[in-house]
Structure 1
Amino acid sequence: MRAILNNIFFSIGRLRTFSQSAIQLKKKKRYIPPIPPLDENELIEQFVRGSGPGGQAVNKTNNAVSLIHKPTGIRVQAHTHRSREANRNQARRVLAERVDYRLNRGNSKIEKMWERERKRKLDKVKKQIKKQKELEEKLLKATTTTTTAATPTSTTAPIPTPPTPTPPTPSIQNKQTSKPKTKTKTKTKTKTKAKTRAKTTTTPTTTTTTALPVNRSTPPSP
């Protein structure tokens, strides 16, 4: 039993160390090393009167710090604080960043920070697009479910349609009997036409009778 418990605790410890090492590796990837400080012998420092908001005390006192890097000739002036020491520290930090950008182009700290910010914005945009696609898919599913629910599904048997009546076929006797009827109709039509024609053509005529002489003589004897 103790051996089993020891194995369990040992495996848990290994998992913890693995997860911690993974987190440390991620932090190392995100970590940007600081810029090494500049050599003081290569700097020319001057204290100048500042300008801007802050009242009369700011314009009269020499709180602004100007730094010049001798090898590169880069000049920086810092006057964001009222204290001289704060301005000195800020001037050295800004000058170190500019010198690093000039000497280590492509691998400087500022460029690494820009690249990190760019990746962060890209990840944010990708997440937004993914969420938008998921919402669209959910809406499509919801619309399809509503349409299927609206259409009624008939479980009963379908109602049989009544058969269409077919017209009866005429027989031969009907055909024979039907023919004389048509003939009589035509005869009557011709009779009526003849009557009408006779009425139109008849004119009043005078009849004259002539009496022929009757020969009552006896026939000749043989």
Structure 2
Amino acid sequence: MIEVAPGIALDESELQESFVRASGPGGQHVNKASTAVQLRFDARRSRALPDDVAIRLMKAAGSRLTREGVIVITADAHRSQQQNRDDARERLFEMIREAARRPVARRPTKPTRAAKQRRLEAKGKRAAVKSQRTKPILD
């Protein structure tokens, strides 16, 4: 079990990793070694995530989410397979930590009387400036 956030622990079997060849510079090493990591996590079917956290996680995943509800994270920034593995896992865990935070509900407020007065005075000044821009009427 991997402790991700308070009350959320993922089972190692829920994470699927596959190793592919990385793109970009690296000479002969990049042609021989499969150092890039594709980490897959099924957010929709995970038993470790509460429903509300899973929904927020899937929204946060964006284009990394497949139609089946699987989050795919690709890491190929490092030359080492282990560093890419750690990077991909940390990115997933950070997404889960963000999703675990409940958003604060906004309390609607009304503008004060003074704020309304300042707004109207500013509107009047802008209107006066714009009225000065018109061409003069010649009689």
> What TM-score comes out, normalization by structure 2 length?
0.45
Q: State which structure, 1 or 2, has the greater radius of gyration over its C-alpha atoms.
A: 1
Relative contact order higher in (CA < 8 Å, ≥ 6 apart): 2
TM-score (norm 1): 0.30
Between Structure 1 and Structure 2, the one with more helix by share is 1
Looking at secondary structure, tell me which structure has more strand per residue.
2
